[in-house]
Amino acid sequence: MLAGPALAAGVSLIAWVVWDRAAALIVFSALVLALLLHNLRNLAALYRWLQRPDPQRIPSTTGIWDALFAMLYRLTRAQTRSQQELAVALRRFQEAATVFPDGIVILDHQDRIQWCNPTAEQHFGIDSRLDMGQQITNLVRHPRFVEYLDAQNYREPLVIRLERELPLMASIQLIPYGDTEKLLISRDITSLERAETMRRDFVANVSHELRTPLTVVGGFLETLADSPEMEPEMLRRSLELMRQQTQRMQRLVEDLLALSQLENAQHPLREEKVDVPELVRLLHYEAQSLSGGRHRIGLEIETEDWLLGSPDELRSAFSNLISNAIRYTPEGGRIDLRWRKEGGQLVFSVQDTGIGIEAHHLPRLTERFYRVDRSRSRETGGTGLGLAIVKHVLSRHQGVLEIESEPGKGSRFSARFPESRCIQPEQAPAMVGRAGSGTA
């Protein structure tokens, strides 16, 4: 910075020696004026550049100003690179957050929306084109959420029900970051809540199903203990009722174990070539024995094709459908078993002339412990798990259960299997299947 004035002083001193003091003063004034104009010109160039910074158009000059502009150029380039890196990082974050399964909303110090991903738009009903800068409480008006936001105690997530096009249960948590900003994270836990509800219902239903037979058995045991000299007829009747209730509990436990095994992902399907026509003939014979002559039971074998699958599981599913038909068809009614090929698919159906089922019950029939008539189901010895077992067996065989029913006219339950599981009978020997759980 002192090079210019020193040069002017040196030249003036030489002029003083060569000429006189007046000449030295004139030379010194001219040099200082030139230096001042040079600096003013560079200052003006710097001012113009600062008004419209452009790293590619840094002013060029000489001397100390050239070094200053070179340093400014390097700083500007470094800042530009840093901004580009930050922009790339921000873009990558936004791309990742866009496909993130949880909702993400960035809030400023006044809880105004700065950015959100598509999942958050669905959870909270946010329109990213219109709602940026809006306070989150203007869009999410749930009282518990407003309290959670005001309390500023974000250690635990908040679980609330959000009423959107499809209501969902959401777990919401706020995470403060930076100075005053917050990250709002939402997670759809509807399926988890549904599973927890099903678990609670399952435990309650199992407890209820076991309580009645245990009460009966326990009551009779107390009676026998208090009355050692009970009359033979009373003793025989008590033992028979205890036997029936014990069998009921045994069927329930067997069906629970069967259902648990079917739902276990670690239990793969063991496939064999199953002679279904022979299996259906065997089940027809067993159905006649189970009916005890109270029903007319028909059999139609329209194809001799076999099925690739588990013989035990198929036997369990088919026998559940048959026993249900016998259980809910009044005495004198008709039940028809049918094995046929339809459009390349194999279909096993059980049609009855029973009491029928109202349409609003049909979607829920395969739920565990769901009963159209609880008292009648218990009277006939059902566990409420039969159709749930059928559904899982068919699912493991890529099959579907079709239900048609009309109150007072009867029902038809059809197990439909894909063409890929169809096997011609001459291809290989098959297994019909061992006796398994056949109770509903």
**Span 288-334, pLDDT tens digits:** 988 888 999 999 999 999 999 989 889 989 988 998 899 889 989 99
CA distances 311 to 263, 392, 424, Å, are: 17, 14, 16
The reply to whether 439 falls in a domain is: no
In a domain, 31, yes or no: yes
Residue given tokens 């028979």 in the structure block: 240
Is 178 a member of any domain?
Answer: yes
**How big is the CA angle at 321 (ends 320 and 327), to the nearest 5 degrees?**
85
Do 304 and 237 have their domain in common? Answer: no
Q: Kindly state whether residues 53 and 173 are assigned to the same domain.
A: no
Is residue 171 domain-resident?
Answer: yes
Greatest mean pLDDT among 9-13, 106-110, 268-272, 382-386:
106-110
Are residues 111 and 207 located together in one domain of the fold? no
Considering the domain boundaries, does residue 440 fall inside one?
A: no
In a domain, 127, yes or no: yes
Do 69 and 133 reside in the same domain of the chain? no
Please check whether residue 325 lies inside any domain of the structure: yes
pLDDT digits (tens, 9 = 90+) for 394-404: 988 999 999 99
CA distances from 397 to 272, 323, 415 (A): 12, 21, 10
CATH value at residue 123: 3.30.450.20
Residues 89 and 105 in one domain: no
Percentages (nearest 5) of helix, strand, coil residues in the chain: 50, 20, 30
CB contact at 8 A, 92 and 76: no
In this structure, the answer to whether residues 84 and 224 fall within a common structural domain is no
Of 188, 218, 250, the residue at which a domain comes to its end is: 188
Residue 85 token pair: 């890196």
Residues 173 and 250 in one domain: no
The answer to whether the Cα torsion of 231, 237, 242, 243 is positive or negative is: positive
| Residue 294 sits in the same domain as residue 380 | yes
* pLDDT of 12: 55
- Are both 116 and 162 inside the same structural domain? yes
Has residue 137 been placed in a domain?
yes
Where does the pLDDT of residue 439 fall: very low under 50, low under 70, confident under 90, or very high at 90 and above? Answer: very low
Tokens 């099903």 belong to which residue? 198
> Of the ranges 39-48, 71-80, 222-231, 273-282, which is most confident?
273-282
Q: What are phi and psi of 303, to 5 degrees?
A: -145, 145
**CATH code at 237?**
1.10.287.130
Report the domain count for the chain.
Answer: 4
Cβ within 8 Å of residue 284, ≥6 positions away: 297, 299, 337
Same domain, 158 and 198: no
Whole-number Å distance between alpha carbons of 351 and 415? 12
Neighbours of 192 (CB within 10 A): 13
The dihedrals phi and psi of 79, each to the nearest 5 degrees, come to: -65, -40
CA distances from 18 to 11, 13, 222 (A): 11, 9, 140
Full domain range(s) for residue 12: 3-93
CB atoms within 10 A of CB 395: 14
Q: Does residue 281 share a domain with residue 236?
A: no
Given 72, 93, 114, which residue is the final one in a domain? 93
Among candidate residues 361, 296, 308, the one with its CA nearest the CA of residue 333 = 296
Residues 60, 69: Cα–Cα separation, whole Å: 7
Query: What SS3 state is found at 314?
Result: helix
pTM, entire model: 0.54
Report whether 424 contacts 306 (CB < 8 A).
yes
Say what the pLDDT of residue 423 is: 86
d(CA 368, CA 305): 32
Residues 170 and 197 in one domain: no
Show which of 30, 62, 93 is a domain's final residue.
Answer: 93
